[in-house]
Amino acid sequence: MVDRLDEAHAPLIGDNEHAAPVSDCARARAQDRISKEGDVQSPSAFIWALTLAAGISGLLFGYDTGVVSSLLVSVGKDLGHPLTTLDKSWITTCTSLGALIASPIAGLLADRIGRKPIILVADVLFITGALCQAVITSVSGCIVGRSIVGFAVGASSLVVPLYISELSPAAFRGKLVTLSILFITTGQVVAYVIGFALSTRRNGWRWMVGLGAAPAVLQFGLMLMLPESPRWLVKDGRSRQARTVFRKVYAGKDHAVEEVLHAIKTEIAEEEATSKDGSTSVSGTGLHLKFTRAQNRFAELFRIGGNRRALTIACLLQGLQQLCGFVWRSY
């Protein structure tokens, strides 16, 4: 049975045959890095504070996708006429469409200007979208507000887990990133409770959507006090700032800080070297060269066995989650 499912015997994390080559030294450094990080017995107070602050984006995601169900049944004729089926369809789908558009753009910008600025921009979009929905007088205005929220959802849902993972010790990374998912479901529950409380009040739906701005304002203020991702700082040539951040992460354990910092520098150097080696046969300059490199990297998702298997599993899990019908019941 196993042989029929995997005739190539390609592991999820590819071996020498199915994945890009990794030197023995790189493997040794990775193992040593994990060993050093393992000295940390529990996340520091700084990491918990950072995770909770960044996780507010998940709360906003859940709240803004959950509150729409109460909005649809409470708005009545406040937008000029009773909502038609087409109106309801646009109001619910425009958020997902906005997220679909914003997510890849946010990923590119996060690599260029950093993770933290993208989260701050997402907060501004959350605030703008919530206030826009609270004061609109037409269906088209509601769609615009929901679309702005969708842009914020797409940006934050991509960057926040990345931000948390790049700041967390390896031993606790999975738990801390999972908290952002817990925040999403918490936000949905909060939306349903507030919807139940305000759905029968006059203009209560305006308060429902407008309240979505409050957590975004809180997160914006908290994020101003939090650092940038140390991995991005190293890649941007600011290793001194990255070291300062890691000292907070590892509660002053300098041996762990230096090991992790050295490993990140080495990984980034190897990534850049691999990128250059992979583009030696690519002709052209400027934008054309960047586009060709991006095409080659995208092709590696399907060409390398381990990447292909991981991609298949990830897409299958996401697809099955949607096919279970939970999202449909949310509306």
Tell me: the pLDDT tens digits for 37-88? 555 667 888 999 999 999 999 999 999 989 998 888 888 788 888 889 999 9
Where residue 102 falls among pLDDT bands split at 50, 70, 90? very high
pLDDT tens track for 208-264: 999 999 999 999 999 999 999 999 999 988 989 999 998 888 886 778 888 888 888
Q: What is the DSSP letter of 238?
A: -
- Long-range CB contact pairs, 311-316, < 8 A, 24+: 313/12
* pTM of the shown model: 0.80
* Residue 62 pLDDT: 93
**Which alpha helices (H) appear in the chain, and where do they start and end?**
2-5, 24-37, 45-74, 85-113, 115-135, 139-167, 173-198, 204-210, 213-224, 230-235, 239-249, 254-278, 286-303, 305-323, 326-330
- DSSP, collapsed to helix, strand or coil, labels residue 164 as helix
pLDDT tens track for 118-176: 999 999 999 999 999 999 989 999 999 999 999 999 999 999 999 999 998 888 888 89
How far is 96 from 150, CA to CA, in rounded Å? 6
